[in-house]
């Protein structure tokens, strides 16, 4: 092929007797990336392409959405993520670059459910989330609640959404639904889950719920979204649309699609159960350490000076004998240790075997059935909102936000 291709050119691909049409994106090492009309990308040798036309690839014009002022008010706080992303035709990659208001254009059906106001807190991929941004997010959500929002949607990348939902659950007491929502697949893909997740999340924000939740696909089909408590949810698959699962408990509700009927479980916190309250102090010098066979005690020494460490132990909550002395030393120096289990399901009990009892004697706190990530966020919050280590230890064993089940249901 002698013609020089530019990003956005329309091309015909011919390979092994088959042909298809699409949009040229870029070439690397002789292989061209082409976006097919189906929305998926393919890689083909550049010499197998024929230019058929040009495309401006102009940014789509965001039309003004007319909102019904008689509908209830929902606030959208946007942090970015795949639900607010689109294709970057320079690279073929998904980039987070929509403004919060663009979500209403991307999901027009939202305007039939409520009036929406939008706050763009940040525009990041969720692997770049930080505790400092959690604090900003908590303040933004609290402000929207105090301003009269009947529900708050938080658009968020899925990679760390469970961390953020747990963080907000501890920092913000809310009388209205605070609903985290994202999508596993971007809007340009035929299998995108952004519309269904967004609609179900909005309907959840109008429901009788009164807590922080995550709303995502409940199955691989487009039939229902699950409502997960923010302190019991975990992303359990890299790419499936039903990647989010409630661990160690039942979901607190569901939303059928496309009928958008919300059903809440009996253990869901109901709307109006508390007054809004913000406690956004966090101790950031906390970490998770995943124990593995033969782990050198020096691994723990790398965290010298940290205020809190969550251990993800084996089985009932164990770590090898070799690390116990180091735990004892660091605990005596002021580091709070909390034991969780890599098993995820079930409860930590360090009173069964000698190793467990030695860990307790070294100062380790049993993390009950908390998920490791939730225990980390809770430890940050507890250390930031307690007046002494003794009080912090007591708070870590209490169920503060639905993070601990006194009786394991699974």
Sign (positive or negative) of CA dihedral 114, 151, 163, 339: negative
Residues 6+ apart with CB under 8 A from 17: none
Phi and psi at residue 89, to the nearest 5°? -70, -5
Tokens of 401: 């936000």
Separation between Cα atoms, residue 89 and residue 95, nearest integer Å: 10
Is 158 designated active site?
yes
Nearest to 345 by CA among 263, 405, 258, 256: 405
Q: Measured on CA atoms in the order 49, 52, 57, 60, is the torsion positive or negative? A: negative
List Cα–Cα distances, 324 to 175, 354, 355, 357, 403, in angstroms. 43, 12, 9, 11, 27
Q: Which of 7, 50, 88, 159 is catalytic?
A: 159
To the query of whether residue 235 is one of the catalytic residues in this protein, the response is yes
The whole-angstrom separation of Cα 184 and Cα 291 is 30
The active-site residue, picked from 33, 79, 155, 158, is 158
Distance CA(59)–CA(68), nearest Å, equals 27
DSSP 8-state assignment for residue 314: B
Cα–Cα distances in angstroms (integers) from residue 385 to residues 166, 200, 227, 281, 378, in the given order: 16, 34, 29, 6, 10
Which of these is catalytic: 33, 79, 82, 340? 82
Q: Going along 100-186, which residue ranges are E strands?
A: 115-120, 151-155, 172-173, 178-181
Active-site annotation holds for 159:
yes
235, 246, 335, 358: the catalytic one is: 235
Report the alpha-carbon distance of residue 233 to residue 403 in Å, rounded: 10
Name the residues annotated as catalytic: 82, 158-159, 235
């Amino acid at each position: 092929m002698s013609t020089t291709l530019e990003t956005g050119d329309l091309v015909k691909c011919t390979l092994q007797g088959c042909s298809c049409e699409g949009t040229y994106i870029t070439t690397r090492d002789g292989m061209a990336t082409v976006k097919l009309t189906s929305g998926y990308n393919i890689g083909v040798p550049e010499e197998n392409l024929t230019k058929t036309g040009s495309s401006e690839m102009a940014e789509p014009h965001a039309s003004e959405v007319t909102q019904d002022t008689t509908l209830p008010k929902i606030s959208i706080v946007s942090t970015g993520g795949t639900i607010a992303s689109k294709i970057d035709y320079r690279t073929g990659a998904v980039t987070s670059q929509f403004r919060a208001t663009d979500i209403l254009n991307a999901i027009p059906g939202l305007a039939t459910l409520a009036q929406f106001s939008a706050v763009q807190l940040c525009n990041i991929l969720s692997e770049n989330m930080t505790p400092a941004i959690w604090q900003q997010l908590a303040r933004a959500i609290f402000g929207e609640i105090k301003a009269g929002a009947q529900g708050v949607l938080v658009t968020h990348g899925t990679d760390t959404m469970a961390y953020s939902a747990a963080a907000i659950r501890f920092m913000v007491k809310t009388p209205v639904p605070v609903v985290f929502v994202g999508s596993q697949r971007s809007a340009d893909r035929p299998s995108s889950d952004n519309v269904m997740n967004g609609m179900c999340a909005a309907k959840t924000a109008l429901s009788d719920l009164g807590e922080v939740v995550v709303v995502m696909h409940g199955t691989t089909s487009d039939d229902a979204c699950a409502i997960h408590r923010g302190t019991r949810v975990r992303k359990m698959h890299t790419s499936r649309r039903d990647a989010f699962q409630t661990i160690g408990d039942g979901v607190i509700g569901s939303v059928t699609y496309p009928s958008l009927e919300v059903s809440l479980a009996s253990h869901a916190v109901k709307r109006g159960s508390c007054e809004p309250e913000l406690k956004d102090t966090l101790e950031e010098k906390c970490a998770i350490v995943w124990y593995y066979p033969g782990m050198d005690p020096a691994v723990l020494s790398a965290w010298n000076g940290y205020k809190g460490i969550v251990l993800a132990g084996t089985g009932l909550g164990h770590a090898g004998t070799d690390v116990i002395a180091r735990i004892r030393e660091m605990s005596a120096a002021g580091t709070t240790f909390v034991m969780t289990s890599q098993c995820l399901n079930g409860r930590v009990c360090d009173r069964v075997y000698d190793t467990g009892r030695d860990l307790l004697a070294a100062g380790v706190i049993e993390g009950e059935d908390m998920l490791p990530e939730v225990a980390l966020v809770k430890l940050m919050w507890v250390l930031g909102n307690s007046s002494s280590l003794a009080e912090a230890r007591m708070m870590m064993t209490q169920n503060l936000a639905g993070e601990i089940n006194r009786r394991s249901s699974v």
